[in-house]
Chains A and B, each alone.
Chain A
Amino acid sequence: MRTILSSLLLFLSLSVHANEAALNAEDPVIEARLVKMAEDLRCLVCQNESLAGSNAELAQDLRREVRAQMKAGKSDQEVIAYLTERYGDFVLYRPPFKPVTYLLWLGPLLFLGIGVGIWYLTLKKRRNLKETPVDEKQIAAAAQLLEEK
């Protein structure tokens, strides 16, 4: 009952209003592709913004250019190649994987590897450590110090 009522109300409210608003983009499919790609691209004239988010004039021009190329049937790779030919890798927020960026992309893995290595060595050492009664005493002494001071 409630659904009938609400859909009736919805119908009423729709009929009162004017038109369904048109999408801003002429072609939503291309627009979705553009937005997805532009999030990985840098607005060149801004301090640090993506091409998708920027309102700078050059960013608008480049978006228009990318849109036109997509409409002309160019693939994402071709469009990105078009941009890097002109602006270099600087335009890419996701740096390409090549010798000068090996450290960038593999660095985090390397850090984790070093960390796991340290973890392993520490634990190996600890496991073989004899439980030192001195240490328990030390802790007790420290606790006492805290209580008394």
Chain B
Amino acid sequence: MIPELGHFAIIIALLLAITQAVLPLVGAQRGNLTLMAVARPAAQGQFVFLIIAYACLVYSFLVNDFTVENVARNSFSQLPEVYRITASWGSHEGSLLVWVLMLAFWGAAVSVFSRHLPDDMVARVIGVMGLISIGFIAFLLLTSNPFDRMIPPPPDGRDMNPLLQDWGMIIHPPMLYMGYVGFAVAFSFAIAALISGRLDAAWARWSRPWTTVAWAFLTLGIVLGSWWAYRELGWGGWWFWDPTENASFMPWLAGTALIHSLAVSEKRGAFKAWTVLLALTTFSLSLLGTFLVRSGVLSSVHAFATDPARGAFILGFLAVVIGGSLILYAWRAPKMVTGGAFNWFSREAMLLANNVVLLAAMGAVLLGTLYPLLMDALGMGKISVGPPYFNAVFVPLMAPALFLLGVGPLTRWKGESLPDMVTRLKWALAVAVVTGFALPFTLEGFNPWATLGFFLAIWITLSVLIGFRERLKHGARLSSLPRTFWGMQLAHFGLAWGIAGMTLVANYEQEKDVRMNVGDHTTLAGYTFTFKGTTEHDGPNYRAARGTVEVSRDGKLLNTLHPEKRIYNASGMPMTEAAVDYSFTSDIYVALGEPLDDEAKTWAVRVYHKPFINWMWYGATLMILGGFLAASDRRYRIAVKKLEAPAGAVARGA
């Protein structure tokens, strides 16, 4: 009964989405206020019915209703409750429902927080979001119904993929989708602006906070995914350039470019056509990612089970949405050069350079991800493009952009004097260069990659400090600086911090693969690891050999770690559950390999020392906070206040 209710709720949501798309768009075109007024309630209604559908799905998982095929395939009677909830988005069907739920959430959010916008703008934005909803809900209902029954039911479920049974995975997918789908708002604003022909500074200002919030969520989603891979995949890597990761990284790169070009469009009224195209591109890349992950055209560790019918459906939808929007762009984008003049060396020129490099990097990732497919389709054989390629092309592309990041925010709009800038930055440059060269020598000797990383991290950090100092020198107080400024500085500093962490862990991590009998010890990076043997341990839905490894330094016991080797009951799948001692300066990571004798006394044990890896996560956290902070700036809310909007509106994104 409950699953049918859920199914029914999705159907109603589809009907509401159709209403939400058709009536407001027609109304906006005809200037009919009554039709336009349908937008808000329809969007909110769609959201409510999808919440109901989703609640029904979670309920089916919680009560182990194995007559629902989706539950039977992805859950298990012994699965702990929290994972039964997360299993609801572990499958293709469930995660697609989360996808449309998020889309409806953003639609409802626009309907609530857009009271200061012209009615026809709101109607068009919400209408376009309705169009996207129609496609995805139809996809859900026609090819991937999460409530399909399985009669007779199997005696028990097949269990959730053990890899996903980790608490890094609990919120990674929803956050990732929040980001992915959030770019639909920027997309819809762009389409609405193209339809109405009102591509002005106001449009840029309206879409800016939405884009920044979506970007922050996407960053959070990607970082959680990386953190999960680090903890769960068992060999301590945190980025693999897998097609699934690339699928989320490409919209991130484009979205980052979009945030910066929106700044120019808002402040200077320039680059409007370009910014619109970027907004279309960013969401198109989100859609492309969905297609790549769910159609089986690429092979990936994380891809969902594949089905050509699904692939064909998304591809068709993709062609309509992206193709349609690009036709609209070609037809309606402003042909006049807008905005004022600016010089070679100006804030505008720097931001455009940022866009150029970010998009070239995005293009490189796209090329590497799709190249095997292109060659195969042309019958030119099969090749693999993996991490060595991406590392070789991505780092050299990004390095100049990161250098410019130190200059850009200090540059004035319209034009800046280069000699002035040299005077302002020469000390920072000197300090960054010297430290960049000196630091590797104090560690392990000359290392060009480490030098590059340290230089960029210190350079950006110093530039952020100079940015604050110059503002304060001009009479501003810290508390009076706008939140957009704080947000930008925080995000830039977070990036520098993350680069420092990445540089340190990539160049100075150590590992050792040893065979350990009970009582054996080994040393790595000054730490002594003593193996105390393994014990049998029964988890809720798995059995494990749980090792005990004591970590000590200078004879002082620091921590006792328990890496596990698990066998999951339902699937029989073995899993390596690494144990990690996290700290500010380094992680100590211990993974249990295979038993090397019959009594399981001797084990292969891998120990890793990962210096400053946490700085990556801290840095990323600052970038996310910076995004939310910038989006909460009062100049985006000023009009809201005048209308005495509800308090919730003011708190959005803060």
- Taking the complex as a whole, does A directly touch B, i.e. does some CB pair lie under 8 Å apart? yes
Residues on A lying within 8 angstroms of B by beta carbon are 6-7, 9-10, 12-14, 17-25, 31, 39-40, 42, 46-50, 53, 88-95, 100-101, 103-105, 107-108, 111-112, 114-116, 118-119, 122-123, 125-132, 135-136, 138-139, 142-143, 145-149
Q: In the complex, what's the smallest C-beta–C-beta distance from B554 to chain A, in angstroms?
A: 4
Contact: A18 with B520, CB < 8 Å? yes
Contact: A129 with B359, CB < 8 Å? no
Q: In the complex, what's the smallest C-beta–C-beta distance from B216 to chain A, in angstroms?
A: 23
Question: In whole angstroms, what is the CA distance A118 to B552 when docked?
Answer: 58
Question: In whole angstroms, what is the CA distance A132 to B337 when docked?
Answer: 11
Contact: A91 with B384, CB < 8 Å? yes
Contact: A39 with B368, CB < 8 Å? no
Contact: A47 with B202, CB < 8 Å? no
Contact: B382 with A130, CB < 8 Å? no
Q: In the complex, what's the smallest C-beta–C-beta distance from B387 to chain A, in angstroms?
A: 6
Contact: B383 with A17, CB < 8 Å? no
Q: Assuming A21-B517, A104-B368, what are 18 further A-B pairs, CB within 8 angstroms?
A: A17-B520, A18-B519, A19-B521, A23-B514, A89-B381, A94-B388, A104-B367, A104-B371, A115-B359, A118-B356, A123-B349, A123-B352, A125-B337, A126-B337, A142-B201, A145-B202, A146-B205, A147-B639
Enumerate chain B residues within 8 angstroms of A146, measured Cβ to Cβ: 116, 202, 205, 638-639
Q: Mark B53-87, 1 if CB is under 8 A from A, else 0.
A: 00000000000000000000000000000000000
Contact: A129 with B639, CB < 8 Å? no
Contacts of B345-404 to chain A: CB distance below 8 A: 348-349, 352-353, 355-357, 359-361, 363-364, 367-368, 371, 375, 380-389, 392-393, 397
Question: In whole angstroms, what is the CA distance A107 to B394 when docked?
Answer: 12
Interface residues on B, range: 35 or more
Question: In whole angstroms, what is the CA distance A41 to B220 when docked?
Answer: 31
B158 within 8 A of A: no
Question: In whole angstroms, what is the CA distance A20 to B355 when docked?
Answer: 54
Question: In whole angstroms, what is the CA distance A9 to B555 when docked?
Answer: 5
Q: Mark B203-223, 1 if CB is under 8 A from A, else 0.
A: 001000000000000000000
Top 5 A-B pairs ranked by shortest CB distance? A93-B386, A9-B555, A115-B356, A18-B519, A108-B364
Question: In whole angstroms, what is the CA distance A34 to B608 when docked?
Answer: 18
B604 within 8 A of A: yes
Question: In whole angstroms, what is the CA distance A22 to B517 when docked?
Answer: 10
Residue contacts A-B, CB under 8 angstroms, 17 given: A9-B554, A20-B522, A24-B515, A39-B387, A47-B303, A48-B243, A49-B301, A53-B233, A93-B388, A103-B371, A126-B348, A127-B344, A136-B340, A138-B201, A139-B269, A142-B269, A149-B639
- Looking at chain B's contact residues, the main secondary structure is mixed
B118 within 8 A of A: yes
Q: A111-B364, A112-B397 are in contact. Are A135 and B340 (CB under 8 A)?
A: yes
Question: In whole angstroms, what is the CA distance A92 to B388 when docked?
Answer: 10
Enumerate chain A residues within 8 angstroms of B528, measured Cβ to Cβ: 10, 13-14
Contacts of B221-279 to chain A: CB distance below 8 A: 233, 235, 237, 240, 242-243, 268-270
Residue among B240, B386, B387 facing the most chain A CB atoms (10 A cut-off): B386
Q: Which residue of B lies closest to A108 (CB)?
A: B364
Contact: B397 with A108, CB < 8 Å? yes
Enumerate chain A residues within 8 angstroms of B303, measured Cβ to Cβ: 47
Enumerate chain A residues within 8 angstroms of B382, measured Cβ to Cβ: 88-90
Enumerate chain B residues within 8 angstroms of A132, measured Cβ to Cβ: 340
Question: In whole angstroms, what is the CA distance A143 to B387 when docked?
Answer: 47
B516 within 8 A of A: yes
Q: In the complex, what's the smallest C-beta–C-beta distance from A116 to chain B, in angstroms?
A: 6
| Pick from A18, A25, A92, A103: contact of B384, CB under 8 Å | A92
Q: A19-B517, A93-B388, A129-B340 are in contact. Are A107 and B554 (CB under 8 A)?
A: no
